Amino acid sequence: MNQLNQSILEADAPCETDQSDLDPSRRRFLFSTAAISGLALFGGLPELASAYSTYPVDLERKIEEHIKVLRRRGIISSREKTAWSVYDFTTQKKLVSINENAPFQSASMIKPFIALAFFNQLRAGKVRYDRFTRAKMEAMIQRSSNSATNYFINLLSGRRGPREVERILKRNNPGIFQHTRIVEQIPSNGRTYRNKASARDYSRFLYALWHNKLPYSREIKRLMRLPNKDRIYTGAQKVPPGTMILDKTGTTSRLCGDMGIVVARGRNGRAHPYTFIAIIERSSRAKNLGRWSSSRGNVIRQVSSMVYTELKKVHNLV
């Protein structure tokens, strides 16, 4: 085992306070020991239920009403469908479950799944994680490099095709990837429409990741909290500066999305993490990709702000 593999293996423990990994502008605070200890007691990977009706805030209804208003105003068209999911780790309750089981185009949001397939193979001793592959991994997750993604698909599949990556995931993590389909590499023009996943698949993945149930969970978390052009924190007016997130966006002329974990801070210093998954998909290509993705990205930011505002009341967040 090379030195880099050994150091990552030793670090792959339920500890989230490696200050060197944190970006100073958006990932600033350290988790409290009490919060992490409490999260460690949550146990295994349950089936995440539909929105919990007795929760103090009817967040799902508010999001549905907001989307209806945007449809009436023409901001979201009748040719677009959406999916939303929020799970609160503090209360262990699913707060939002809108179109969670429907498969959507995944775009670049599939890339953390490909990373997990790699780390499954690393655990099995079938691949190496050296400085070259680590740089490729950072390019795939942080900069959303399509060529780096195709490098890992070829590496993992032995050039047998992307479906081999899907098989690796379902063989090692069968409870998570129930609606995931990986059937194509990322074309050079970025027009990837055939790979699929559901909001519930993303939710299960993030739940398992947070609880360190995946191989090399800490390294995947490090990759997903590298600074990037997210839609959950950046530009979300109600999410305060310094809030830490782990996320991956996805953008094509037919899809705009983001999936991640928001680690909100309570006024008592405790961490209150929650998942946030947002997907907006068109039935046909947008004529102006930049304008469409910017508009729908702002919709995601609005909903992210709504979620934070409601949880702020529940957990006395900053």
Q: Please say whether the beta carbons of 209 and 203 come within 8 A.
A: no
d(CA 278, CA 143): 20
Interior/surface letters 241-273, b for 16+ CB within 10 angstroms, e for the rest: ebbbbbbbbbbbbbbbbbbbbbbbbbeeebbbb
Enclosing H/E stretch for 85: strand 80-88
d(CA 206, CA 190): 25
Specify the pTM. 0.84
Q: Please give the pLDDT value at position 189.
A: 75
Q: Please give the pLDDT value at position 159.
A: 79
Taking Cα atoms as reference points, which of 78, 100, 111 lies closest to residue 224? 111
* Residue stretches of the chain with pLDDT short of 50: 1-54
Q: Are strands 271-282 and 80-88 parallel, antiparallel or unpaired?
A: antiparallel
Helix axes 146-157, 111-123, angle to 10 degrees: 40
Taking Cα atoms as reference points, which of 75, 91, 86 lies closest to residue 308? 86
Q: Please say whether the beta carbons of 45 and 175 come within 8 A.
A: yes
Ranges of beta strands (E only) in 163-282 are 196-198, 244-252, 255-265, 271-282
- Bridge partners (DSSP) of residue 103 are 198
Side-chain-side CA neighbours of 36 within 13 Å: the count stands at: 10
d(CA 17, CA 28): 10
Residue 202, both tokens:
């993303």
Domain layout of the chain by residue ranges: 3-315
Helix, strand, coil percentages (3-state) for the chain, rounded to 5, are 40, 20, 40
Q: How many residues in total does the chain contain?
A: 318
Q: Please give the pLDDT value at position 192.
A: 75
Specify the CATH architecture of the domain 3-315.
3-Layer(aba) Sandwich (3.40)
Q: State residue 176 phi and psi, 5-degree precision.
A: -95, -50
Q: Please give the pLDDT value at position 55.
A: 56
